[in-house]
């Protein structure tokens, strides 16, 4: 947000971010367009939108403008940084750099090795969570200006958390390549296949799944065949393990 932006300007820009996020989720746009729209909310120098990959225990950049070294840090080391732990496990999952306590800043390698060399003075890190509580990714925004957190911007960033989480959610959002769904990718599964996959985490038989989802056992078997093929796993136990790693659970 620039000095001459009004609250109305910020709210209008936020609506464009939500629209870009909707297109990213439905496949008619990409994560890069979300960051482009976000630049009208915060006039940033660097930004990235990253998905958490629980299978590999690292972040995956969907879109970003940080230098290569900073991107590698976000992907491979950020999750071990004290600053990240503070935000992820805090009630306030949107944290501005100047609000981070001094002791955390002093022990954060991200501040010293990544942000300070870039001349970063302020920014925001926003941990993103799905509606069911799963951690799905993080937004990082950095500026070389001292403050970028006018009240309207703070409020808007909190409100944008839900739509940004949808973009990073592996069960909803786009692939980092922007291409079609691939084997091993949860986005390759249909909504019904995701339901069946969630049931597998409980060790249920085809008959039990059929009864719970009001399907025939034969239809359930077909769905499971498709799930195994799309996830490129050898059996239902492996598929269930993948679902557990994603945090997928059956409806109560």
- Are residue 105 and residue 196 in the same domain, yes or no? no
The answer to whether residues 227 and 162 belong to one domain is no
Give yes or no: residues 19 and 140 share one domain. Answer: yes
The last residue of a domain, from among 168, 199, 223: 168
- Whether residue 71 is found in the same domain as residue 141: yes
Residues 152 and 49 in one domain: yes
Q: Is residue 193 part of a domain?
A: yes
Residue ending a domain, choose from 135, 168, 201: 168
Q: Are residues 217 and 127 in the same domain?
A: no
| Residue-range definition of the domain harbouring residue 127 | 7-168
Residue 176, domain member (yes or no): no
Q: Residue 213 domain-assigned?
A: yes
Q: What is the mean pLDDT of each run of 10 residues along the chain (252 residues)?
A: 73 95 90 96 95 84 95 94 88 84 86 90 92 89 85 90 92 54 66 89 94 94 93 90 80 70
CATH of the domain at 237: 1.10.10.10
Cα angle, residue 118 at apex, residues 113 and 121 outer, rounded to 5°: 100
- The model's pTM is 0.72
DSSP assignment letter at 110: I
Exposure of 155 in the CB half-sphere (CA atoms within 13 A): 8
Can you tell me the distance from the alpha carbon of 61 to that of 92, in angstroms, rounded to the nearest whole number?
23
Per-residue CA distances from 197 to 8, 191, 239 (Å): 44, 10, 7
Do 43 and 154 lie in a common domain?
Answer: yes
Q: 160 and 230: one domain?
A: no
178 part of a folded domain: no
Q: How far apart are CA 136 and CA 54, in angstroms?
A: 9
Q: How many domains does the chain have?
A: 2
Say yes or no: 236 and 146 in one domain: no
Last residue of a domain, one of 141, 168, 195: 168
Same-domain status, 135 and 193: no
CA 107, 142, 161: angle at the middle one, nearest 5? 95
């Amino acid at each position: 947000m620039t000095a001459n932006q009004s609250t109305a300007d910020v709210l209008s820009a936020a609506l464009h971010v939500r629209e870009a996020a909707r297109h990213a989720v439905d496949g008619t746009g990409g994560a890069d367009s979300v960051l482009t729209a976000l630049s009208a909310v915060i006039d940033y120098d660097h930004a990235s939108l990253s998905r958490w990959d629980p299978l590999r225990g690292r972040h995956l950049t969907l879109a970003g403008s940080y230098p290569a070294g900073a991107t590698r840090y976000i992907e491979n080391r950020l999750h071990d940084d004290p600053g990240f732990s503070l935000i992820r496990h805090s009630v306030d999952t949107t944290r501005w750099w100047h609000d981070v306590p001094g002791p955390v800043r002093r022990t954060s390698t991200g501040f010293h090795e990544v942000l300070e060399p870039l001349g970063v003075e302020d920014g925001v890190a926003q941990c993103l969570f799905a509606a069911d509580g799963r951690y799905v990714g993080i937004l990082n925004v950095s500026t070389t200006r001292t403050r970028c957190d006018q009240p309207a911007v703070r409020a808007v960033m909190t409100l944008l958390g839900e739509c940004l989480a949808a973009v990073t959610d592996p069960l909803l959002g786009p692939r980092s390549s922007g291409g079609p769904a691939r084997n091993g990718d949860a986005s390759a599964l249909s909504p019904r296949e995701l339901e069946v996959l969630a049931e597998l985490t409980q060790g249920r038989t085809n008959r039990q799944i059929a009864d719970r989802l009001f399907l025939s056992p034969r239809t359930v078997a077909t769905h499971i065949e498709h799930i195994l093929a799309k996830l490129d796993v050898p059996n239902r136990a492996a598929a269930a393990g993948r679902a557990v790693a994603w945090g997928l659970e059956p409806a109560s």
